[in-house]
Structure 1
């Protein structure tokens, strides 16, 4: 009885072996020395094993193969890039300083709004105390122009945020170039008026005829008009426009502003730097004159901060790309405007609000403001 199951098992194994033999005879044998190349790779002939054999190599960056045993890889279009498997092209990432997607933009927006509100508060303080000696000293109209320029400089930060357009590209550099030229021109006029006021105190001085609001207003208008002419010429010849940088990074496209005429771009910045340098030198030489509430020492320090910020910005600007380059520009605008606001107006606001006893003619004519 025990031998019957063994016989049945042997018969089953013989039948299975016979079926495998028949199946093998019906199949066509493969004769190849290389395996198939899957999508994402291509054939490379000239293997060390045999000249008819080939190796499978991964497609280079930016190229794909979407079929097996491809002999060549296909290069992706300019605005697309190969995915991780190298089997299809996908759109490149688009980069710009977005309002919603970047924390840097949110921080710049908040800081700009805060500084703009602070400037508005200081403007209101000066209007409320416009008849006091501190506000009248060194031409209060120039102070109003300077405060308005600083407020506009904070607001022009929003031109640098969001996706660049042809209109915003044209307004970016020209707007803050003109605004800063007006601000620095007003500081230059203040410094010159300090010098004239000191010379006019001498008996029989001919400088008294230059006292008044006409000279500083004319000086400010002339210096600002030169910058306006430079900007109009730049916009007429070769204005800035929206551009796509597809070469700096392989996997993304940078939406940026092309300056158009490089000469026009650097002319605007160069003239602004020239005005800042002249204002700094003028204020430096008149900072020790014994005039009542001599603003020149505050102007000197503010111009030192202004020039330091923009000089430090140059290497940072040239070494960055994309949204970080725009962030550097925004930081320079906010930092330089804040330097002007703090150095020029904070000391005055302190005297107006916390030392009203010094906000008198007697206090101003004292030996030193405490």
Structure 2
């Protein structure tokens, strides 16, 4: 489609094909092929080549090659992103990189096409190399600025660690603009990994320090909700009189054990400094998991008590000359079944 656009836009305006093309441009239909070509050019960053049908001069043939190359580059970026998040794709890519390119990809190609494919592959490798180099440069600037910011990462770095990080960043920056000006992609990737060993820990401490209070608050709220239910039962509330005291005692015991666990963790958390590494048992993910487990268990217990209460209060009245006894007193049904039973008796 792009190749056809190159040819059509470059021919003379008195040609019938060119006139039809110009009419499509004036119509500005979204599903027209000229509009689709324009969208493709915008997508790959070549929107400046769109000249409203006035031709692209000596760039005929070049634009379509650039489009193909950049579309391939975008697909590679998508593949790299998917590979980074999928273990199976990561293993597949590692194996394929060791085996190299499949022979069948080059079979049947004419010499000129093979040369062009090799040029595209070389261009892709060069872009990936430059991207890795730029990523290293961006990490250096970002880490240095954040490590020197009192409102960002500086409070989460010990003075010696901060000085070591800044020295390493300066050393890496000097290398990047001297000996590291023209290195392979793998070299830049390894350099970034080396910097992350010093630059990522304070980011993790800051993230944990800001997130932990929120997840602990959610856990406390869940425990408070269950404790309120236990207190209502202990106060002799009539709507909880059907509940077996042994069941409530189990729930109360679980709450006490969880409160003791939380108090111990909170004591350890308060002793942590911003510059301390976070132990595995004090990370926010641990409190989040405990919150989910407690809420699930407490909700199941309270929901069961509510169903029993509703079953106990279903009225009985004669149906067809015999007494109606709710079977739910023996085998408690789901909550929606209880509601349906009530509607049926109200109609009778």
Fold shared per TM-score above 0.5: no
Larger radius of gyration: 1
Greater strand share, 1 or 2?
1
Report the TM-score, using the length of structure 2 for normalisation. Answer: 0.26
